[in-house]
Structures are given as C-alpha cells and as structure tokens.
Amino acid sequence: MQNFWEYLTKIPVGLATVFKTLFEKPVTIQYPEEKKPMSPRFRGRHQLKRYEDGLERCIGCALCAAACPADAIYVEAAENTNEERYSPGERYAKVYEINMLRCIFCGYCEDACPTNAIVLEPIEFPTGYTRESLIYTKSMLLEPPPPGVPGTPQQTPPGKYDRAILPFPPIDESV
Amino acid sequence: MAELVNLTIDGISVRVPKGTLVVDAAKSVGIDIPVFCYHPKLKPVGMCRMCLVDIGTPKIDPATRQVVRDEKGQPVIVFGPKLTTACTTPVSEGMVVRTATEQVRAAREDVLEFLLASHPLDCPICDKGGECPLQNLTMAHGPTVSRFDYDLKFHNDKHVPLGDLIFLDRERCIQCGRCVRFQSEIADDPVLQFHDRGRGMEIVTFSDPPFDSYFGGNTTDICPVGALTTADFRFKARPWELKTTPSLCTHCAVGCNLALNTRLETKTGGYEIKRVMPRQNEQVNEIWICDKGRYVHHFTRAEDRLHYPLIRQDGKLVETTWEQALRIAADRLERPSAILVGDRIANEDAFLIAQFAKAIGAALEQRPALPAHYADVARAVGIGSDADFKQLGAGDVILVVNGDVEEEAPVWFLRLRQAVVDRGAKLIVAHHRSTKMHRYAAAIHRYEVGQAAKWAASQRADWLQGARNVLIVFGDEHLDGSSARALAQTLANWLILGGFAGKPNSGLLPLYPHANTQGVFDMLEHATRPANETTDTLWLVGVGADEPAPRANFIIVQDILLTERAKRADLVLPALSFAEREGTFTSGDRRVQRFYRALPPLGEAKPDWWIVQEIARRFELPWRYEAPAQIFAAIAQQVPRYAELSYERISRVEPQWPPMGREDLYYGGTVYDNTGGLGARYAADAERSALSPYDVHVPEPTLAGLERTPRLLYRDGELIRRSAVLRAHIVAEPLTA
C-alpha cells in the first residue's frame, strides 16, 4: 500500500519532465536531409586529393592497401606519360577501390600515404542498398579539380613532373 | 677435395676450402656480411665498400717464418690499421674476422649514408620497394638520419630505356656493376658498360638493337636497388602482394625451375600471373632463366583461352556442355582413329593417353615427330643420374654437334659456357654455321647443311681419347628423322666405344624442342603406332599449329587456346595450362620435376588427364584417378624407368649453396628459394648395364630434313604471339643456312 502512494506521487514528477522537453529544441536531426556539423578532424569517408594544378596526389604505391588492417583497399598502378599524366612522377593509380563495408575508418591509410593523397574527410558516410554500390571506385573517391583547373589526364611539358613525391607543404595547425 | 683452411669469424670457428672469400665463409656459418656489389655467382670487385670488416692474421716471425705465440701459447693476431673488404679477401689459415666491432658498424653506416646521398627515396613507387637490398640493409645498418641536405640531392633521368624490355632509373643506380658483370661474365653478351665518371656515371648499352641479350631479365633480379626494371612487371604490383607458386618453364628442354608470382586482378576478375621469377635449383638453372621463360607467360590469361567445349554446328563453333562433348568424342573415337600428342603436356596426361590408345587400338604419334626418332638413343646413353654441370671442367670434353645451344636451350648455354671458360673444359663445336658456342671452341668442324650425320660417321673421334668425361650436346637442325637418328647413334657409339657411357658426367644431351619431349616419348613408347589412311577421327592433344596431321573426317582438338588449328576443328576440348594444374615434366637430361597449381581454372576447362579419363570411362576403362599424384604412382608401377620415382622423391628439397632464398635478398637478389622440389633423374640405360654399339645406317639428306630450319628462341608460335612485350622480338623468317 505504501508503494502505491509512492508511485502516485512520482507520476506528476515524470510527466513534468515530459512536458518540459516538449517545449525544448529536439536533439535528433533529420539525417540525411539535415546534417550535424562534424569536427574537421572527423574520420569519415575517404577522399583522394589533388594538387592545385589539378593533378592527382595519389601515385598508386599501394602503401594504403598494405597498411589497411581490414584489407579494404585495392590498387592497380600504371605508368604516366607526358601526353597523359594523372599524377606527378612515373606512376599513378589506374584502379583505386575501397570497400566501404570492410573499412573500419581507422585512418591507417592516411598515415601510410607518402603524398597525403588519401584523407578521411568529415563528409557524408557511405550508405547503400547493395554490397556492390559500397565498393567505391576511383572516380567516386577523387575530389573535383579546383575551379578553373582541368582534371586528369593532362598533357604536361617534359621534365616538369618527374618527381613522384614532393616535399610536403607546411602542416595547417588550424584544424 | 680442396685444401681446407681454418679461421675464426666473430668467435665461431670456420673450416672452408682454400680460396673461399671471407664473405662466403661467414655466410656458411650464418653470419651475414652486408654486400651490394658482391654476388656469389659473379667475380668480386670490391666497389661498394659495404662489406668492410676487421681482418687479422697471425703474426709471423720474419726470421723463423713461424707463427709468434703469446705466453699462453695462443697465436698473436695482427689486425690491419684499416678495415678490409670481405668480398675480395680470400681466407687464410688462422685468420680472425670481426664483423661486429664499433669500427665496422660505423663504416657500414657511413657507406650507406653516402649511397643514399643522392638516392631518390621514391621507394613508394619503386618496383623493388619491399624486396630491396638497399632498403633492408639501410634498416639494419644505416643511419637514422642523413647529414646531407634533401634539397641538394642530385637529380637524374628516371626513365631510360635499355632496350624495350629493361628500363634504367639512373637516380636509383648505386653503380655496383652487377648487371655489367652478369652480361659479360655469365651471359657473355657484354652489351652494358659504365659510361662517364663521378656523379655522371651511368649504365649504358651500346649494342644495336640496344640491350641485345636473351638473359637481360636476370639483371633486374640481381640489381640490389630498383634501377633496372622490366617492361613486363613495371608498376604491375608490389612485391608483398604477390603469391608465389613453384612451377616449371615449358619452352625448352632445360626444365628451368620457376616461381610464378600471382595476384588478384580486376580486369580478369581473378588471379593472374604478374611476373615469372627464377627458383633456385643449382642442379638445373642455378638462379638464371632466359627472357622467353620470363615474358611468355601472358598466354595463360590470353583473351582467346578456351573456357568451354566447342562443337561445330552449321559450320560454326558453338559452346556446348562437357557431357555432350565427351559423348560425341567417345562416339567418334569408336571409329578408326588416330591420336597425336604434343610434347608440352605433362607425363600424367601422356601416360593416360597411351593406355587409352592401346585399349581402343587407335594410332598414336608424338608431335613434333622428329625427336621421337632419337629420344631412345639419347635416353640410353644420357648423362648419369647424378651428373652435375658444375663438376665439368679441366680434363673434360664438351662436344656440340649440329645444335645452337643458346637458341635451343639458353640456360644450358650459360652452364656449358662456364664449364669451358671458367673451369677449363675443352669445347669442340661441329656445325654448318656459326653459333655463339663457336666463341669458346678449342676446335671447330664444319660440314655442308644437313650433312651432320654423314660428317659424324666419317670421323674417328680420336679427340675424345684421354678425356675425363665427354658430354655431347646435339641438335636436329636440317635433319630428317632417320638422319637425326643416325647422328645420335654415331655420337652414342663414340661414347660407348670410348668407355664413357654410364659415367656420371658423360653422355648425350639432346636439344629437344619443348619441356616434356622426353617424358611424352617415355610414356608413349610402347603404344606408338603410325596413323594411316583409314583414319576417320583425329584427336590432337596440345599439338602445335604448324605440325602436319593426317586427313580425317572428324577432328577433335584439345588445347588451351583457340589456335588456328582449333578454329578448323569439329570439336574443341578446353584444357588447363601448366599454371592452372599440377603435373610433372621430364627435362632433356631426364630430370623429372613437379609443377604446381598457381591460378584458378578458367571457365570449365579441365586438365588433360581428366578429359582423357572421362572419355576412357565411356569405353568402360576402370580409371578413377582423382589427382596427378595417383597417375604418377601408376606410371612408377608400369613404366620401368620411372620405378624409383615418386612425387615424394621429386618434391624433396635440400639446402642450396650459395643460399639465395628470400632471407638472402642482399646476397643473391630477388630469386626465390626452392620449395617445390629439386626433381630427380631416372637412370640412363648405360648406368644399368653395358650397351653394345648401335648399327648405324647413314641415309642421304632429304628435302624434308633440309626444311627443318633452326629452332630459334624467339621463333613464331601461338604462345609467344600472345606476349605483348616479346612480340617485337619474334623472328618471322626462319633462319636458313
């Protein structure tokens, strides 16, 4: 009997919480129509970066694939020519695939990359209805060229891009 | 037995033959002295200075010429004021070598710092990255940081074609000269040389066409950096992604041991051979392979590989099921039929075909037909079952008759040349034209084209007298069957009458066209019956497109590719290539060796033995073989010469010297260690019992014989045509006399 009275007094307390939150701003957001701002260092979907002149940073070395603990990355390389150049140096990634179902977003690929070409960006997470659609190919991963700059392949003058690995630019400490 | 010398390396007592170099003596007790320019198969030059060690010798009293001893009775050791190169210093009695002192450590660190001063450090895109001696030795002995300014690195050309098969990266080259020395010391194609000096020093080729050699691919294996890369493997895969399977080369009679490197590929949706590497077998190919063996592998994933059985309907070949194809084949084979067998198929396949032909009474022939005329002679007086090319040297006679060893068996050329040039064997060459072997000949005999057998019959061969061993290499250039047989018999008689038959390092060495000519002959021997005009059904198993075949009403072609011959067939049965199945080959020197499955099967293609067995089952032959190992056990029971052999025996591996496995990248290069077996030779007839000389009848040369043009290495064929990198090298016109 004593318990009954206890229950009865607790009900208005609970309802008070309910009515209070009714007038508060909701926590849930309508993903994917609505998106939550993410930390710039968030390890989301991968992006293959480009240099300012539009050339791909990726040189097809497959060190990301070697570092990947989930065996999610597959790379096939090919040789650049001055007539058809994708990246600086002799080698570029002809095939670059990431199986997003396997990826555990650990970021080891970023660490392994000698040209900072692959970056896990705070952009939308990969979703899909089939397994095939979640194998991201190079065209899906590659960032668009900067405005007004042609994409790849480019025709380049001989001798200008004979080095695959360029000294890194200074690290941006703001992010 | 050579005189032995005692020395101490890092406190370990070593006993090695006199003349051994310190670096090899250390290797024999498991002490690794790092090297770049030294290679155990090449002469030492001491160029890279990486092998510097502290060497001391016992002090000798100049007056008494005796070793000076301290109060404890131990010899007094005098160490040099400076370090010494271990790769150029031979061992001496009482020598003390120290490889772990601070001085040695500092020297290694400094040498590496200099080597890396202008090395580009583009390991991520370098084909050697991951199996690179420079990378590994830097990790083990190098400085952690360089005192040189990165921006002052000297830049050089990164894409210099040395010929169309090998590319040079001048920046990566550390000027060790291994490639230069291989080309001049081993291959004797001295087409590479150093040019200029100091920082301008580079490797150049000055032959026309550039880098004109059959052995150029080996320089990429022994290159201790990624300076030399092959056009075939350039940027194709990283070494750590590759799966390795032991295999055999199928293109000539040497039977080189290969390692097939495979990897998953999007284009073909499965495993694909990315490169072919040598597998060490000191008895067969040491660590070398020719460029044909290295680059012809592309046929295994050619676009016109056969995936399904094909049947001719309304004049066109259409896909069908195995059930239907086998039923039709069995129905047609009930009529008078003939089976032609190519000499690239495995022993197991040939054995079953022979049993089947005997059971149904079909005619059976080997193709090419020519070697079958003399294979029994070559086998009877063949080299001993424990013969070793390395033991051939001073006092031995090597006779090359009517054969071009470099074209027909390139790796035997390397080995015989070393026996002659390095170890002093006497070479006698008899040929109607000049071959590369003529360079080292002590005596040269010439005869008219096609007259080899007549020439041999006219000789008294007294130049063989007094020799320790006599090895006779012979070919069938411009000969027909009976002339080739007469030649083989004459040469065999020289060995028998001279008392050389049955000696381990004496005998005949035939230059057969393919990897299993001897094995197919051994399997088919007692079932062979020539085809005649009554042939209704003709079954061709792995027969080359240019081989003559009798007329027939119905032609069954069993092949791996849609060849010109298959396109004209009535029924096409798809077989698996050597890379997709198991089996054994018998090399020209009767060594039975195993090859293993490296690739998954294509479509519904099946191994040849399976196809034969399935057809045989429709004739109610009670075969239930499930693997080549079972068939080989049957071969051992039914073919007397193979009685002592088994898969277990030919798969046996012994440690090879010098050791060149993957643990020893810095020492031997990127060759693979042998995990698939060294193989075993079956005994020559002469080893079992004394032979009586052959009764030789020498026929007149015929037109058919004269038309048998030399078998050049890059001759046109269905397989070489499918290799894009070698296509430009195909010799279109056969070489005529």
Is residue B82 very low, low, confident or very high in pLDDT (cuts 50, 70, 90)?
A: very high
Q: What would the 3-class secondary structure string for B22-45 be?
A: HHHHHHHCCCCCCCCCCCCCCCCC
Block means of pLDDT (10 residues each) for chain A, 175 residues, are 84 92 88 85 93 94 96 95 94 95 95 94 86 94 94 92 77 64
Is residue B545 very low, low, confident or very high in pLDDT (cuts 50, 70, 90)?
A: confident
> Distance (Å, rounded) from C-alpha B157 to C-alpha B367?
49
* Mean per-residue pLDDT, B259-273: 86
Contact B492, B502 (CB under 8 A): no
Contact B450, B482 (CB under 8 A): no
Q: Extract the tokens encoding B271.
A: 């495993």
Cβ contact B125–A76 (<8 Å): no
Task: For residue A78, list chain B residues with Cβ-Cβ distance below 8 A.
Answer: 235
Lowest model confidence (mean pLDDT) among A120-129, B48-57, B293-302, B445-454: A120-129
> Distance (Å, rounded) from C-alpha A175 to C-alpha B699?
90
Search chain A and give the residue with CA nearest B238. Answer: A62
Is residue B414 very low, low, confident or very high in pLDDT (cuts 50, 70, 90)?
A: very high
Q: Hey, is the C-beta of A145 within 8 angstroms of any chain B C-beta?
A: no
Is residue B265 very low, low, confident or very high in pLDDT (cuts 50, 70, 90)?
A: confident
- What interface predicted TM-score (ipTM) does this complex get? 0.88
* Mean per-residue pLDDT, B596-613: 95
Rounded to the nearest angstrom, the minimum Cα separation between A143 and chain B is 22
Dihedral of CA atoms B506, B511, B515, B516 in degrees, nearest 10, equals: -70
Cβ contact B240–A66 (<8 Å): yes
* Mean per-residue pLDDT, B327-356: 96
Rounded to the nearest angstrom, the minimum Cα separation between B122 and chain A is 7
Which of A56, A57, A63 to substitute to test the interface with B, most B CBs within 10 Å? A63
Is residue B463 very low, low, confident or very high in pLDDT (cuts 50, 70, 90)?
A: confident
Of 3.40.50.740, 3.40.50.2000, 3.20.20.70, 3.40.50.620, the CATH number of B310-368+517-669 is 3.40.50.740
Q: Do B4-100 and B150-301 share a fold? A: no
Cβ contact B125–A91 (<8 Å): yes
Q: Which long-range contacts (CB under 8 A, 24 or more apart) does B415-423 make?
A: B415/B286, B415/B389, B415/B390, B416/B389, B416/B392, B416/B471, B416/B473, B417/B188, B418/B186, B418/B389, B419/B389, B419/B392, B419/B393, B421/B188, B423/B392, B423/B393, B423/B394
| Residue the block writes with tokens 């490197």 | B261
Dihedral of CA atoms B376, B381, B382, B385 in degrees, nearest 10, equals: 120
Q: What is the pLDDT of residue B171?
A: 92
Which of B118, B125, B242 to substitute to test the interface with A, most A CBs within 10 Å? B125
The CATH number that domain B4-100 falls under is 3.10.20.740
Is residue B544 very low, low, confident or very high in pLDDT (cuts 50, 70, 90)?
A: confident
Q: What is the pLDDT of residue A27?
A: 85
Choose among B541, B645, B535: nearest CA to B585: B645
3-state secondary structure of B397: strand
Domains of chain A (ranges, CATH numbers): 46-141 (3.30.70.3270)
Pairing mode, strands B363-367 and B337-342: parallel
Class of domain B375-512+688-706: alpha beta
**From residue B210, how far is each of A69, A79, B213 by CA, in Å?**
45, 22, 9
Class of domain B150-301: alpha beta
Is the pLDDT at B26 greater than 90, yes or no?
A: yes
Q: What is the pLDDT of residue A170?
A: 62
3-state secondary structure of A56: strand
Is the pLDDT at B152 greater than 70, yes or no?
A: yes
Contact B238, A59 (CB under 8 A): no
Q: What is the pLDDT of residue B697?
A: 95
Mean per-residue pLDDT of chain B? 94
DSSP B657: S
Is the pLDDT at B140 greater than 60, yes or no?
A: yes
* Mean per-residue pLDDT, B362-374: 95
Residue boundaries of the structural domains of chain B: 4-100, 150-301, 310-368+517-669, 375-512+688-706
Burial (CB count within 10 angstroms: exposed 0-12, middle 13-18, buried 19+), residue A144: exposed
B655 Cβ contact partners less than 8 Å away, ≥ 6 residues apart: none
Tally A–B CB contacts below 8 A: 50
Q: What is the pLDDT of residue B215?
A: 97
Rounded to the nearest angstrom, the minimum Cα separation between B134 and chain A is 18
Q: Hey, is the C-beta of B307 within 8 angstroms of any chain A C-beta?
A: no
Q: Hey, is the C-beta of B122 within 8 angstroms of any chain A C-beta?
A: yes
Q: What is the pLDDT of residue B395?
A: 95
Q: Hey, is the C-beta of A74 within 8 angstroms of any chain B C-beta?
A: yes
Q: Hey, is the C-beta of A62 within 8 angstroms of any chain B C-beta?
A: yes
Which of B160, B235, B264 to substitute to test the interface with A, most A CBs within 10 Å? B235
